[in-house]
Amino acid sequence: MPDPILTIPQHFPIEFGTNWEFLCQQKPSVLRNYVTTATVNGEKKSFNQLGQMTMSRITNRLDNTRISELGSEKRWLSSVPYDVANLFDEWDSDFLGSVVLPTSETVQAHHFAYNRLCDQVIINAALGTAYSGEDGVTATPFDSNQLIPADYVLTGSASNSGLTIPKLIELKGLFGKNEVPEEEEIIFVYTQSQLNNLLNNTQATSSDYAAVKALVDGKINHFLGMTWKRCELLPLDSSDIRTCFAFVKRAIKFADSGRKVHMDVRADKNHALQIRSVAKLGAVRMEEKLVAAVACDESPSGGE
């Protein structure tokens, strides 16, 4: 016989929650406040840039003026549309009984998706191919000289590793070598795995450990001269190599035409309620020297 303590009598009703709860997910945008906002009215927009010039010594009196070419370039930002939509059958509200149809929660979920999309567009622009030239068709891939490889070591034989203090120092040093002004805030984007690397590989007696531990406790968001922002959307390749990156605000131009929400009854779908959110976004890396990346091995053999 079944245990009477574990058996629910038939006259006891089954209770259902009347609210909807969100599963774990990134809700706010992590990066959009740290990039430069641009306006794109059409499909794409060009930005004019001036290159570095050099002065030459004058060796003769009353010599002819030497004219130098003005090094200039155009960088193009393309903006493209995105959407997300859900349908609710016209009888869903009746069949759910006391459970309220999640219309407002769906709009919120769309907002969370939009926030994550903003970050993904920014990440793709930072690490992907930018387009230059008069017509915007010249592809400019990410500069490999701006990437700290996964096997970087300060001394000894090269070997894949996760995030290490020497890698971070080398990453930060690229901004100095590129003459990026010291007053510009450097944002470093990482995932939880890289923070785990630092905690596991940094000795508890070292001067770095307290600062790294404070990152976990949420007491500071600044370490090694960079502002740290965690985002789990960073690319991970088939070899378990994660690409983290650092940048300054003017490195990325980001265009956002705004998010719109449409709520309509679809006669072609038996009068189902459709909730659809749309947005038009785009971003571009303005200069290769303003973005630096570090490859981190997350495989069991190299990540920790």
Highest mean pLDDT out of 22-26, 154-158, 209-213, 277-281: 277-281
Amino acid 161: pLDDT: 95
Show me where the domains of the chain are located.
Answer: 32-50+71-297
Question: With contact defined as beta carbons under 8 Å apart, do 83 and 277 qualify?
Answer: yes
Q: Give CA–CA dist 52/246, Å, rounded.
A: 23
DSSP letter, residue 90: T
Q: According to the CATH classification, is domain 32-50+71-297 in 3.90.1690? A: yes
Q: Sorting pLDDT into bands at 50, 70 and 90, what band is 67?
A: confident
pLDDT score of 6 more than 70: no
Question: To the nearest whole percent, how much of the chain has pLDDT over 90?
Answer: 62
| pLDDT on residue 204 | 43
Name the nearest CA neighbour of 267 among 23, 90, 5. 90
Give pLDDT tens digits for 233-258. 999 999 999 999 999 999 999 999 88
Rounded average pLDDT over 159-170 = 94
CA dist., res. 123 & res. 244, Å (int): 10
- Reference 138, options 73, 41, 81; nearest CA is 73
Note the pLDDT of residue 153: 94
pLDDT of residue 177: 97
Q: How far is it, in rounded angstroms, from Cα 163 to Cα 195?
A: 8
Q: How far apart are CA 167 and CA 63, in angstroms?
A: 51
Which of 113, 85, 121 lies closest to 28, judged by CA?
A: 113
User: Mean pLDDT over all residues of the chain?
Assistant: 87
